[in-house]
Structure 1
């Protein structure tokens, strides 16, 4: 894989750390700014909204800008948002910085997905995306626990500064190592008109693949968001086991996206036909085994692997289906990911007040995967197809 892909993954690592780190920082932020934890939690909602809205918006604004310039600008904007957030004493300003950071993150990821697939042959999109998405999975393994530990030792502002510092080598690396030329999908006289690219969203096949990807990601985040209370209150483990469980999930996700990346171009059906049913069975199994740590912890790793193997493969299929939108296709994949990330925890939260209690989010994840598989049935010929014929023929 080309070295610039790893520079893009470094930026994704910094952004992924920022996206997930608030879970361990909310009490500290609430105490410091004299607000309730519930109010502080709106920072997460603001970020999710910014990601969903920002993907198509920022991709549209940056579509006429060479990839290197657009990517570096998004990283620098992300850095600035965290620097301001680290010094502000105003909660409204902090919320504003999270929205700006989310817009920068969404724009970066949308452009990076397009850039990553343009750096490799048309039948290597899956492997390229596996490298790029590994930045997110490594963030769950190292970045989020590291950020939580840094916040516990030096306060939440130190974690914001750490994310800002991580952006510096990412920005320098992108400027130095990412080609300035436009993706080869562009016409010689510039990118295609925006309207035909947006018109791709009228294609039922593209919309359905995006929906399946969003549902699988919703299932992932439904369980991941509420994993901590399952560890402490159901499994009966101490609070120190929470980061262990998160690291296991992150390590599994890294393994899953890495292995699936080698199959998602030519044999996506193998990933989906095998991984889909296993993922469906895995969430209820995790709920039933939650009070047995010896079974619960290995299943956390396995579910992380299956979730990201399936999710990464589906996002690859979105990009194949959106091949007629060379500058906007990445934003469609990003939007699908983040709609799922926003909806999943909301669905899971509705189960907490039921007799299922802390088991509820795990059962909700199983239901979301079941819905994804039912939606996917009419698409089995599209999703399980090998590499995109039009992309391969170019």
Structure 2
């Protein structure tokens, strides 16, 4: 473990949170901009889902490849390099003049951004002791709320007044600033290299072994399933409200702003509860709670816009709240020296699940003659069923019990599935 002062630890965590903020905003802003993008390029919901999925699928594949090298280098160097590539991807996306170029730009963003989440979580796992990792994960996950409260509303407003590409120009500027701060603030992080490196010729066989490791397979499967359930619903909130409930695209900004305020505070609270009562138990509770807002939103009755705005915070708290203990639980699955590779592969499964969820949702939805989107209720029921499956499947995720993150020889395996010796 590293020895950071409390203030240095907080600065690093908040820098990682703001880094994650730009990655999440880059992904999230595409969804509420859906109506403008569909009009600008004259595309269907299914084609728009392909644009959303392109990022996720490329992020998943790049994350798998990253697992080969993510534990072989200084975390700082890799973080800064991938973030620079991610910054360039936003500029390319902002300059896209056709739907085909937009697809290529989103794929490029996925290739670079896909590595960032697993790398950030690996740094959290390396730096923060296990007994405080839930709260630290809550800080990093609060980036989702920041993106909802600030990033997405600002992006929607800019897109409504100056064109859909404006938010991506904004992201390009933000990533430049945050990247420079990271260059100055992030120290060298090489403790995970202390045990030595296996020959690079073993990288691909080790990746295949990691993916097929029986103790890891339940975690990978649940990660994929949860993100399918997540994105089936979230990717089409804005098009559904605009087409079926007459909400103006510019007004969506207020909904995301109000909806994101509550998770900004509850993410850290849920993280502390997970540390106190157990990541698995809190995850199961949040999964069950999330069923109510998911089914209500996908079967939304005619309501005034102010009522939708008041409801949205409950939806956001539930969806974010189930990801905080889930991410914290995942950091306890691998041994420290394999944490980066494990989280990279897991992030890949989450990205592939996101892409499949958006794509599957787009295939289920259709546009009626009057312009309304149909099939969103069916999407909700499938997402709820998947959440229940994840809730039941958490019993099969194996974890390790650590005492202030001791060395590998002191790790004691626990959980429903016993790890290999």
Which TM-score band (shorter chain)? 0.7 to 0.9
Change (3 A) 1:359 1:124: farther
In the alignment, what sits opposite 1:259? Answer: 269
Residue matched to 1:367 = 382
Q: Note the 1:1-394 alignment, pairs <5 A.
A: 1-25=9-33, 35-38=41-44, 42-87=50-95, 89=97, 92-182=100-190, 184-190=191-197, 194=203, 195-196=205-206, 198-232=208-242, 234-235=244-245, 237-266=247-276, 267-293=278-304, 296-323=308-335, 325-353=338-366, 358=373, 360-377=375-392, 379-380=394-395, 382=397, 388-389=401-402, 392-394=405-407
- 1:321-353 alpha-carbon deviations (Å, 9 max, x no partner): 133622212213312332332222233334434
Contact 2:17 / 2:141 at 8 angstroms: preserved in 1?
A: yes
Is the Cα contact below 8 Å between 2:16 and 2:120 reproduced in 1? yes
Q: Helix, strand or coil: the match of 2:154?
A: helix
Question: Cα RMSD over matched residues?
Answer: 3.2
- Unaligned stretches of 5+ residues in structure 2: 1-8, 408-421
State the shift of 1:72 in Å: 0.7
Matches of 1:272 and 1:55, distance apart in 2: 24
Residues 232-267 of structure 1: CA deviation (Å, up to 9, x unaligned): 455555544422333344334434432222133442
2:3 corresponds in structure 1 to: none
How far residue 196 of structure 1 moved from its aligned partner, in angstroms, is 4.6
Structure 1 residues 81, 8: closer, same or farther in 2, change over 3 A?
A: same
- Asked if the contact 1:72/1:171 (under 8 Å) is kept, the reply is yes
- Which stretch of structure 1 is more off in the superposition, 336-345 or 291-300? 291-300
> How much does 1:120 deviate?
1.1
Partner deviation per Cα, 1:345-381 (whole Å, 9 max, x = no partner): 23333443499x8574355334333333335435427
User: 1:305 is paired with a residue of what secondary structure?
Assistant: helix
Q: Give the drift of 1:11.
A: 1.6
| Contact 2:225–2:390 under 8 Å retained in 1 | no
Q: Which has the higher contact order (CA 8 A, sep 6+)?
A: 2
Aligned length: 388
Partner Cα separation in structure 1 for residue 94 and residue 295 of structure 2: 40
Q: Is the 8 A contact 1:26 1:37 kept in 2?
A: no
CA drift at 1:301 = 1.6
Q: Deviations over 1:192-248 (max 9, x none)?
A: 964556533333442223322332332222222222244345555554442233334
Is the Cα contact below 8 Å between 1:212 and 1:314 reproduced in 2? no
Q: Indicate how the Cα distance of structure 1 residues 296 and 81 shifts in structure 2: closer, same or farther if over 3 A, else same.
A: closer
Distance 1:332 1:31, change over 3 A: same
The CA distance in 1 between the partners of 2:287 and 2:164, in whole Å, is 38
Q: Tell me the distance in 2 between the aligned counterparts of 1:86 and 1:379.
A: 40
State the shift of 1:100 in Å: 1.9
- Pairwise CA distance, 1:104: 0.9
Please say which of residues 321-330 and 374-383 is displaced more in the overlay: 374-383
Deviation at 1:382, TM superposition (A): 4.3
Take 1:227 and 1:41, find their aligned partners in 2: how far apart are those partners? 12
* Kept after mapping to 1: 8 A contact 2:155/2:167: yes
**Aligned partner of residue 339 in structure 2, secondary structure:** coil
Does the 8 Å contact 1:289/1:295 carry over to 2?
no
1: distance between equivalents of 2:242 and 2:34? 18
Cα distance between partner residues in 2 of 1:9 and 1:191:
31
